[in-house]
Structure 1
């Protein structure tokens, strides 16, 4: 493989001149620049990224650790992060935690060993020694969607509280009074926020939330099935079910079909985190949508600010400097019944 000295010899210039051309410096004559670029093309020269990183102490690489690559929300988020990073001249290495803290910490340490410039993380449930160590040591790091309480790390997230309140109002307007919820993992920051918003909205409309209408889930399809099975063996089953995650909602729909129940004729169904699949189910599922692409783009912007400037340059929302809070919104479809919005 040709090196920079071969390019210099082929073009009849010094190694320093080749370096100036490749780095876009001015002060190089146009005919010289043309000879160097022609030599680069002829020899198929590629700069040595490792050598460059040793000189600059940067690898132009970001790490992304997501909770579950099989969840369509995180798949779309990873795509948005990769697109935004590429537009800024960075590559991305992705690690899938599979909702396991130990696996997450393994990915974090591996990425840091590879000298990534910064780290984006949507943490799995539970305390993370590796993330706490990274935060204390000053590694450029940004949380996206989820977070760990007590760590002074910028967070890019969507606030779904208003959308959850709108969902409860939508269900109430359609005549539903017995409304159940399927939660996520006990220590999940996002799940806990959604449950609090749901309780608050029910209280506002004068609706109870008995313990038997709370299904414990884990953001996986099987837990949605199990919760639905428990709900519909009750003497007075719910009229509507809100799953705090998209995969659990699909599990609910599967179980309802197994039980011979129809959506929305027998029970209404809604979910947090809209995904493309929801348009193609029968009926299409009402969902709360997060601005996933913008979350990914804002997260990359915040992280590259930390990498390149040492501090955030973007406007701050609540919490740590550099944090940004966006808004989620309700998309009403036929799975809860029909009103003016679902008929449009």
Structure 2
């Protein structure tokens, strides 16, 4: 079985450098880290995690508490977290809060009891006493996507304000004037932020956001359906519904179809959080896309830095608008037919 000395020899570095890479220390260069991880993979080196945890008081394990594992956004986020953690020599234990603060705290408590080295959390509400206590006790922690204000914890998130502004400009250019939103929970930072961004963007075009055009959702499909049904029952329904989450958008789509109506002819639809399914719906859904994979990887790097005694810098990445056809956009022109190629002339053979 390969030893740490074998890994160091193959990578052309010192044993100390191998140790730093395996312990996620940020001071190692990108090139040296790649060579060490390549040597580990080639040699099949497996450090004794139990012995190492006894020596270093580390378990090489991270905790990840996500808001809803059924939400494709968080599924992709969890995957990128796990991949980056594995590349840095960590395992990940995942807890699904199902958008419930009590379940979130259950997972946080369980993970802390298992002596994880650090914790990634997408909070389901604006203030968990348990997480406040964990931060004050010195637990390395990073918030991803959502955060709790007032805590000295790095936040890795996307900024959707510019993309929402681009969406409203796009809708205005298509001639839409009555725009509604299905909001996420007001207790979450993303729930509040997306409504504010939408309202500010409407104001730039002199468009109001009446109270009846704000539907309250919970980032799950059933709430999107209920809010859309209420919009459709209004004396003057909106022309467009902007769902501040992909699952709520799917619920809105269900509500429209259940009444025998069509998107976008009877009601246009846009969503925050693009997902692979949106290109397969009829019509494909216009959406604000977050750089989910980049967010997950950046969150792990920030947490590993925090575990190593570093500051764990906050990261904000821009979201972008993906235009499709659910808001009345013109269909793309058909692809040109392939130009037929001339078939070669048959070879004529002379007879003797």
Bucket of the pairwise TM-score, normalised by the shorter protein:
0.7 to 0.9
Residues 1:177 and 2:177 are matched in the alignment: yes
Question: Where does residue 272 of structure 2 map in the other structure?
Answer: 272
CA distance in 2 between partners of 1:20 and 1:76 (Å): 33
CA distance in 2 between partners of 1:49 and 1:142 (Å): 24
Question: What per-residue deviation string (whole Å, max 9, x for no partner) do you get for residues 286-309 of structure 1?
Answer: 00000000000100110111112x
Question: Where does residue 346 of structure 2 map in the other structure?
Answer: none
Residues 1:326 and 2:325 are matched in the alignment: no
Question: Where does residue 54 of structure 2 map in the other structure?
Answer: 54
How many aligned positions are there? 303
3-state DSSP of counterpart to 1:228? helix
CA distance in 2 between partners of 1:276 and 1:19 (Å): 43
CA distance in 2 between partners of 1:148 and 1:278 (Å): 30
- CA displacement at 1:49 relative to structure 2: 2.1
Question: Where does residue 67 of structure 1 map in the other structure?
Answer: 67
3-state DSSP of counterpart to 1:202? helix
- CA displacement at 1:126 relative to structure 2: 4.0
Residues 1:336 and 2:335 are matched in the alignment: no
- CA displacement at 1:106 relative to structure 2: 1.2
CA distance in 2 between partners of 1:59 and 1:102 (Å): 26
Residues 1:294 and 2:294 are matched in the alignment: yes
3-state DSSP of counterpart to 1:301? helix
Moved more, 179-188 or 121-130: 121-130
| TM-score normalised according to structure 2 size | 0.82
Question: Where does residue 135 of structure 1 map in the other structure?
Answer: 135
Residues 1:283 and 2:283 are matched in the alignment: yes
Change (3 A) 1:51 1:169: same
CA distance in 1 between partners of 2:202 and 2:102 (Å): 37
Matches within 5 A, 1:181-330: 181-308=181-308, 310-312=309-311, 322-330=313-321
CA distance in 1 between partners of 2:315 and 2:83 (Å): 19
Matches within 5 A, 1:22-101: 24=8, 48-101=48-101
Change (3 A) 1:282 1:23: same
Unpaired stretches in structure 1, ≥5 consecutive residues:
1-6, 8-17, 28-43, 314-321
Q: Is the 8 A contact 1:140 1:306 kept in 2?
A: yes
Question: Where does residue 154 of structure 1 map in the other structure?
Answer: 154
| TM-score normalised according to structure 1 size | 0.84
Q: Is the 8 A contact 1:332 1:342 kept in 2?
A: no
- CA displacement at 1:19 relative to structure 2: 6.7
Q: Is the 8 A contact 1:288 1:330 kept in 2?
A: yes
Change (3 A) 1:342 1:222: farther
Change (3 A) 1:129 1:71: same
CA distance in 2 between partners of 1:99 and 1:124 (Å): 5
3-state DSSP of counterpart to 1:336? coil
- CA displacement at 1:100 relative to structure 2: 1.1
3-state DSSP of counterpart to 1:181? strand
3-state DSSP of counterpart to 2:234? coil
- CA displacement at 1:21 relative to structure 2: 4.0
Question: What per-residue deviation string (whole Å, max 9, x for no partner) do you get for residues 154-199 of structure 1?
Answer: 0000000000010001110001000000001121100111100101
Computed over aligned residues only, the root mean square deviation of the Cα atoms, in angstroms, reads: 2.2
Matches within 5 A, 1:118-133: 118-133=118-133
- CA displacement at 1:59 relative to structure 2: 1.1
Question: What per-residue deviation string (whole Å, max 9, x for no partner) do you get for residues 70-118 of structure 1?
Answer: 0000000000000111111111110111111111111111111111111
Q: Is the 8 A contact 1:174 1:339 kept in 2?
A: no
Change (3 A) 1:277 1:336: same
3-state DSSP of counterpart to 2:224? helix
Unpaired stretches in structure 2, ≥5 consecutive residues:
16-43, 336-352
